[in-house]
Amino acid sequence: MSMEQETEGPSERLALFEEDPRGRRRRGISGLIGVVIVAAAFGGVAGLIGGTLIGLVVALVIALPLLYVMAVSIRRRVWLEGSTLLVRTWGLRRVDLVAATRLDLVIGDVRGSRTVSLLVNAGQRGKVGKVDLAVFSGTGGRELGILQLRKLANALMNNVEANGLVFGELLVAELKAEARGSGVAERPLYRLASVAPSGKYVQRFTMEAVSRFVATLD
């Protein structure tokens, strides 16, 4: 199915991801190489202990879930349609930002790059979505566009159940910082990413933690 076909519908769908086929291909190749290296390492150790057959079985057991995770990551797409997140991996699920019962900010740390994401939980099985707001490496990085951040902020501010106003204010502060011409290191999302302790693959900031941080912003 083409991108044009996927984005057609009664309401406008706003892409919350960077459509870069070349970048996805690079990530796929890099991920595949990583899976082979990890599986070969575990399989090699197991092979030395239990023999060739055991080594191959262990390598396969390690490789299959890693390949699945990699495939899901490559296929994953996120759109915003009104106040609803559309998340596609193998299927398409809808997560209502207004009706969400829990909102969290998640910081992922992989090989020196930190990803700031919004985790949305609608309180129903399968009704969970994640939006990557920004990716930082060193003192540089990239963020969602102005339109995407503004639309997300508008939807979140209508959420009462999970106090989405706090998260909406965070995105508004990010937009204000960009409008002032603030450097990346001075923007709220980067500041949040930089204060997260190192050494953890994923860290979750609750609404209370985000609220305390937002209260310190201008």
Tell me the pLDDT tens digit for each residue of 64-100. 888 877 776 667 788 898 888 888 877 788 888 988 8
Which DSSP state fits 158? T
* pLDDT number for residue 22: 66
The model's confidence at residue 128, banded by pLDDT at 50, 70 and 90, is: confident
- Enumerate long-range contacts of 111-120, CB under 8 Å, 24 or more apart: 112/137, 112/138, 113/137, 114/193, 114/194, 114/196, 116/189, 116/192, 116/193, 118/152, 118/167, 119/204, 120/85, 120/95
Lowest-pLDDT range of 111-120, 147-156, 198-207: 198-207
The pTM is what? 0.72
* pLDDT number for residue 150: 93
102 closest CA partner among 163, 172, 34? 163
* pLDDT number for residue 31: 73
169 closest CA partner among 155, 159, 157? 157
Reply yes or no on whether the pLDDT at 214 is more than 90: no
The Cβ of residue 11 has, within 10 Å, a number of other Cβ atoms equal to 9
Q: Are strands 140-143 and 128-137 parallel, antiparallel or unpaired?
A: antiparallel
Residues 6+ apart with CB under 8 A from 107: 114, 115, 116, 117, 192, 193, 196, 202, 203, 205
